[in-house]
Amino acid sequence: MVDSNIDINSDNMKTVYFDLLHLYYLPQFLPVAQALWDKGTKVLFVVYVENDVIDITKKAINDEGFDYVTVSDKKSAIEYYFQHKPDWIIFGKAPATIYNALNDTSIKMAFMQHGIGPKACYYSSSEFPFDVRFVEGDTRKQRLQEMFPKGTFVDVGYAKLDPLFNGVEQAISLTSLGLDPNKKTLLYAPTFYPSSIECFGEDWPQDLANYNLIIKPHFFSLTKSKYRKQQALLEKWSSYDNVYLGSVDCYSLLPFMQVSDVLLSEASSTVFEFAALDKPVVWCDFYHVRWSYKGLFKFRFTKRMDKDIGLFEELCERAKTPSEVLSKVQYCLANKEEKSALRQKITFSMAGRTDGKCSERIVHFLLEN
């Protein structure tokens, strides 16, 4: 079932749909959507009712000034695509195999991976026969081309970061977050699994009392019932005066990255993103893993990660235990420039160009093809 009164294909203007499976894909899509709109292209977001935060998602899109339709599930989505036949559909994740049917139509499919982290799915997702995949950096493009010789890969950079590099992103005030503007600010951005959250104690923010601590968990950590232990810890941490906990409707990490001095994270795309801003990172290389990922089953954890995680060793200050985090933060703040050249080198390799024009390159390709 589709909920829509929008006739977005009413004339011959080009149309591009964004398949918004999850709210946290939005920061990657928005710069491209805006660039398309500026070029006179019709833009529509396709939102799934099964989305855990459908109302927040609708509001976010409305606030950005774009139209959306809601679909009940993937089957309804593909029916909508067949009915309305946009010029392009842009995905943030490889879709189900039923979408292969679109290959027999005039509808083209593009892929913008919603993150640039070190998980193996970054590469394996290109098994799906997209018409084009937009890639972050020539190193990753070459590797993908070797893995999938018949695929079309275009190096454009990482569009999500465009607002930070072209000055569009509005800076937030630490005071507005209830934090002290005279303190250095740490951004803790853990992923949902495998995560470092459960490795810290209930009073962890007290160890960082001399700093502001912005905590921006992964969307799933806040919404999925199986991460209740994470939610309980996050709630306790949020009671400390030096802590700001980003809620579910804070769907973008960009404003927090902009005002933070050091990032704390684990096997997350955020490490490459923050390093692209030439700021230091503490790698929390300790994780709470399920029994099904331990002992004889440790291969599952290894399989989940890609060899790209080896770059974290060069890029970050590595904390092997929670007790090492504070000293690593102190070292980063005292030696901010030490890894600057290395950050720039790895950024060019893993995130691509940081000129604020990634979205423009994507739009140029879409409209020319």
Q: Which helix (H) or strand (E) holds 156?
A: none
Residues 118 and 131 occupy one common structural domain: yes
User: Cα 87 to the chain's mean position, in Å?
Assistant: 25
Residue 357 is given by DSSP the state -
Q: Residue 81: how many CB atoms within 10 A of its CB?
A: 21
Residues 137 and 259 occupy one common structural domain: no
Q: Are 81 and 89 in contact (CB under 8 A)?
A: yes
- What was the pLDDT predicted at 136? 93
* Joined tokens for residue 171: 């800076």
| pLDDT band at residue 6 under the 50/70/90 scheme | low
- What was the pLDDT predicted at 263? 97
- What was the pLDDT predicted at 146? 95
Residues 228 and 312 occupy one common structural domain: yes
- Say if 266 falls within a structural domain: yes
- Say if 169 falls within a structural domain: no
- Say if 57 falls within a structural domain: yes
Count structural domains, the chain.
2
Residues 39 and 101 occupy one common structural domain: yes
| 82-120 per-residue burial string, b: 16 or more CB within 10 A, e: under 16 | eebebbbbbbbbbbeeebeebeeeebbbbbbbbbbbbbe
Residues 230 and 181 occupy one common structural domain: yes
| 285-306 per-residue burial string, b: 16 or more CB within 10 A, e: under 16 | bbbebeeebeeeeeeebeebeb
Q: What is the mean pLDDT of the chain?
A: 88
* Amino acid at site 295: G
Residues 301 and 189 occupy one common structural domain: yes
- Say if 242 falls within a structural domain: yes
pLDDT digits over 122-179, tens only?
888 899 999 999 999 888 999 999 999 999 999 999 999 999 999 888 889 999 999 9
User: Cα 191 to the chain's mean position, in Å?
Assistant: 10
Residues 336 and 247 occupy one common structural domain: yes
For residues 9-18, average pLDDT: 78
User: What predicted TM-score, i.e. pTM, was given to this entire model?
Assistant: 0.87
Residues 214 and 313 occupy one common structural domain: yes
- Say if 167 falls within a structural domain: no
- What was the pLDDT predicted at 302? 52
Residues 364 and 236 occupy one common structural domain: no
CATH number at residue 132: 3.40.50.2000
- What was the pLDDT predicted at 3? 57
Residues 154 and 202 occupy one common structural domain: no
For residues 70-99, average pLDDT: 90
- What was the pLDDT predicted at 133? 96
Say which residue, 87 or 119, is predicted with more confidence. Answer: 87
Is 305's pLDDT higher than 80? no
Q: Which domain holds residue 235?
A: 175-350
CATH number at residue 296: 3.40.50.12580
pLDDT digits over 99-115, tens only?
887 776 789 999 999 88
pLDDT digits over 175-188, tens only?
999 999 999 999 99
- What was the pLDDT predicted at 294? 46
Residues 204 and 249 occupy one common structural domain: yes
Q: Please give the full DSSP string across 58-100, using - where no structure is assigned.
A: HHHHHHTT-EEEEESSHHHHHHHHHHH--SEEEESS---GGGG
For residues 82-99, average pLDDT: 90
Residues 135 and 208 occupy one common structural domain: no
